[in-house]
Chains A and B, each alone.
Chain A
Amino acid sequence: MSVLGRIARCLRPRVLGFVALMAAAGVCGANQGAVYSSGNLGPTILKAPGHCVRPTEWMRHNHMKLLLEERTEWVRQGIRDRKDSLENCVKCHAADAPNGAVFGAKQDFCVSCHNYAAVKITCFECHSAKPKGKVPAFHPLYGPMGPHGEGANAHGLALMMRESASTGRLGLGASK
């Protein structure tokens, strides 16, 4: 945890710079159909089908924090029921992409913005940029609704992390 926290603190200036850029891009980019652009200034962003796990504006600022906290639960505890996992992001955002991926070509969902903001992401050096196309199930230990499902008493950590993500403090060190 503390190692992650240190890494997160080191990354913060970059993240803030990115947030500023994305906010500028977001102001221009209104929701105008399947593909919308902010004229000649901003990136062209592919619109995904369905609803995002968070409001678009919030995601523009905080998606990296969400992924950071989610990955820790996913990798180190095996909690795989979170809707805001990278796998689920890919599943939705690659759905309408011409090449069926979120990373690779210039117009892909992740690439278009990160190229515009000059932020290099390394997620897809390891992660698949294409969806697998199956509904995640849960380990029987968690029950049918998973550890965060109805009746489960595991909302504490997730809520704390989500709150800290929205307040700008990464939740990883907040428990101390």
Chain B
Amino acid sequence: MSEVNKERRQLLGAGAAVASLVVAPGVFLVTAGKGRADEEAGEAGPQWGKVRWGMLVDTAKCSSGCTQCVSACDKENHLSGETLPTSSQWIRKMELTDRETGKSYSLPMMCQHCDNAPCVDVCPTGASFKRWDGIVSVDRHLCIGCRYCLMACPYKARSFVHHPVTDQNPDVPRGQGCAESCDFCKHRIDEGQIPACVEACGSTGGGALLFGDLNDPKSEISQRVATIATLQVRADLGTEPAVRYEGIL
């Protein structure tokens, strides 16, 4: 090896060492970037996937005449309570009858807060979104009222506000021209309360609704879905709803 080549190799080696040093802060910058997301969220704040709110409906306890959950929802979110084709319905009672046996069931149907939410997929503006804790909701600031999500939802859970709205609940802003649906009363959840329908069902209804964190193995809902047979409506679609039903298998 000539002297020049040797020197050149040494120089290149030193350059490589310097480059690796440069890479190291570069890597550090990347981790710092990741850290910023955590910093944004705070230690106990919004962390994606940390919490997944879910609901379990015990159809054996849900009686056909009872509409306490619907009334509570209407009252909490200042809905009209009407069932016209143009009315907003965030939760509705369904009556199902098995044609062969004649056995009938009563159950509430609302936004199923899917993990793979079709309404989020189709939204052209990003208004329909899934929150860090699994709640599917509409950012009305971005909603243009195209109603694509109403078409996409296999559970017919979304409504469109056709008429001007007055006297809203200050915690639940809603108005004409936007799509909307059950959001598990996220304004209540953010304050540590449970959804209005669950509260009403527990106090004046049959206690058929159980609400909790599906990602927390110690929560009552997690332990129940782990021990008894429950059903996700149209599980074949792969939407992975957070609302489960027991007793209609």
Contact = CB atoms under 8 A, between A and B. Distances in A.
Interface of A: 3-4, 7, 71, 75-80, 87, 90, 125-128, 130-132, 136-143, 147-148, 152-154, 156-157, 175
Q: Looking at B41, B45, B129, B165, which has the most chain A CB atoms within 10 Å of its CB?
A: B45
A152 B45 contact: yes
Contacts of B165: 125-126
B164 A125 contact: yes
Contacts of B44: 141-143, 147, 152
B41 A154 contact: yes
A125 B176 CA distance: 7
Contact of B39 (A78, A90, A131, A153): A153
B44 to A, nearest CB: 5
A152 B43 CA distance: 7
Interface of B: 36, 39-46, 51, 125-126, 129, 131-133, 137, 139-142, 164-165, 167-171, 173-176, 178, 186-187, 189-192
A78 B190 contact: yes
12 contacts: A3-B142, A75-B139, A77-B41, A78-B190, A79-B46, A80-B187, A125-B176, A126-B140, A127-B173, A137-B192, A142-B45, A154-B42
A141 to B, nearest CB: 5
Ranked 8 nearest A-B pairs via Cβ = A154-B42, A126-B175, A147-B45, A132-B170, A128-B170, A126-B173, A147-B42, A157-B40
Given A76-B139, A126-B165, A157-B40, A139 B191 contact: yes
Contacts of A156: 36, 39-40
Majority SS at the chain A contact face: loop
A137 B189 CA distance: 11
B176 A127 contact: no
B170 A90 contact: yes
A80 to B, nearest CB: 5
Contacts of B137: 75
A3 B45 contact: no
Q: Looking at A126, A143, A148, A152, which has the most chain B CB atoms within 10 Å of its CB?
A: A126
Contacts of A131: 170
Given A78-B190, A141-B51, A152-B44, 19 more contacts: A3-B125, A4-B142, A76-B131, A78-B132, A78-B186, A80-B191, A87-B170, A126-B165, A126-B173, A130-B170, A137-B191, A138-B190, A139-B191, A139-B192, A141-B45, A143-B44, A147-B42, A147-B46, A152-B43
Given A3-B126, A132-B170, A139-B190, A78 B176 contact: no
Nearest to A137: B191
A157 B36 CA distance: 8
A135 B169 CA distance: 15
Contacts of B171: 87, 132
B132 to A, nearest CB: 7
Given A4-B142, A76-B129, A125-B164, A136 B39 contact: no
Nearest to B127: A3
A127 B43 CA distance: 31
B170 A71 contact: no
A71 B189 CA distance: 17
